[in-house]
Structure 1
Amino acid sequence: MTDHADQFWGRLDDTNSGMLGTTDHARLVPMSHYADREAGVLWFITAKGTDLAETAATGTKPAIHVVSDGGEGLYTRIHGQLSLSDDRAKLDELWNAVASSWFEEGKQDPDIQLLRLDLTEAEVWATGGSLSFMFQIAKSKVTGHKPDMGEHYTLTF
């Protein structure tokens, strides 16, 4: 795995949400993601009646997940194929206090729906984070040079 891929997955692990939507709908919604680096997949826990779940119920859809976290210095647009999953073992693995807040019957709630985003590409802007940003801006004012805002790259999965 490349250094860029390691950086991407490491920073993505340290963030917990982004905006997810299918490319055939302009509407993106906030969703917590759960990264599976080895499989190249992001998982989401949602309810069966949501727009995303209903859209994915008609078949696999091209989708986008946008993550913006200044503290972690990660800004990324992730593309992939969104599908439904009934993988109960994966739900057991992902289940946490945040997810339980949304479902009255816990993991057994019949309304739970797993979404699986198989990644195809990610465009990434990786910075040093918010403190580094402030330092780079101040440094540019003193030196007259443009600030170093980090790396910009694309990953293919």
Structure 2
Amino acid sequence: MKKEIREEFWHAFEKSPFIMIRLDDASASGAGHAEPMTAQLDKEALHTIWFFASRSNRIATGGRAMGQFASKGHDVFACLAGTLVEETDPARIDKHWSKEVEAWFPNGRNDPDLMMLRFEIDDAEVWTVEPGLFGTFKMLTGSAIRSSEMGKHAVGLV
């Protein structure tokens, strides 16, 4: 079941690669508040995601971090824990560079304010929501619903 849920999560993340991410270190600038980031995904790296950011971004210092994801259809939710580190491989930056990224960094790949962060995921929880016809009927009628009737949950997907 874990493999099925993991695949469902990555498929949903690929369709809507936006995540709220925050640093765990309370002494870091802006820690405690998450912000939306656009994830750069790589199908061969299922425990890692990347972000383009400015050096003044509140997560730019890196460190332990937590990411929260909700799919576009609100049927997949995830909480990801890991470490943010600066990605220094120019090939990785080139691989993920796009017109969308360039819109945020008009000075291009060599902009001194540009950095890429790598989020190395070491723990995750994923929930899927699929109440089905019976679960939907119970919700509409106010009947009690067991969590097992609403979807699946997996811990430690990495």
TM-score by length of structure 2 reads 0.81
Q: 3-state DSSP class of the match of 2:32?
A: coil
1:93-112 equivalence runs, <5 A: 93-112=95-114
Looking at structure 2, the residues matched to 51 and 13 of structure 1 have their Cα atoms a distance apart, in angstroms, of 24
**1:90, distance to aligned residue in structure 2 (A):** 0.9
Tell me what 1:69 maps to. 71
1:49-68 equivalence runs, <5 A: 49-53=56-60, 55-56=61-62, 61-68=63-70
**1:110, distance to aligned residue in structure 2 (A):** 2.2
Looking at structure 2, the residues matched to 77 and 51 of structure 1 have their Cα atoms a distance apart, in angstroms, of 19
CA RMSD of aligned residues (A): 2.4
Q: Would you say 1:27 and 2:33 are equivalent positions? A: yes
Looking at structure 1, the residues matched to 144 and 65 of structure 2 have their Cα atoms a distance apart, in angstroms, of 38
Percent identity for Structure 1 against Structure 2: 24
Change (3 A) 1:85 1:139: same
Unpaired runs of at least 5, structure 2: 26-30
Contact 1:18 1:30 in 2 (8 A): yes
Give CA-to-partner distance per residue, 1:6-44, whole Å, 9 cap, x none: 222222212221111111121211111122343310100
Tell me what 2:127 maps to. 125
Looking at structure 2, the residues matched to 144 and 138 of structure 1 have their Cα atoms a distance apart, in angstroms, of 10
**1:136, distance to aligned residue in structure 2 (A):** 6.0
Change (3 A) 1:2 1:111: same
Q: Which runs of 4+ in 1 moved over 6 A?
A: none
Contact 1:22 1:63 in 2 (8 A): yes
Unpaired runs of at least 5, structure 1: none
Tell me what 1:4 maps to. 5
Contact 1:17 1:67 in 2 (8 A): yes
One-letter code of the match for 2:137? K
Question: How many aligned residue pairs are there?
Answer: 148
**1:120, distance to aligned residue in structure 2 (A):** 0.5
Q: Would you say 1:139 and 2:141 are equivalent positions? A: no
Change (3 A) 1:12 1:103: same
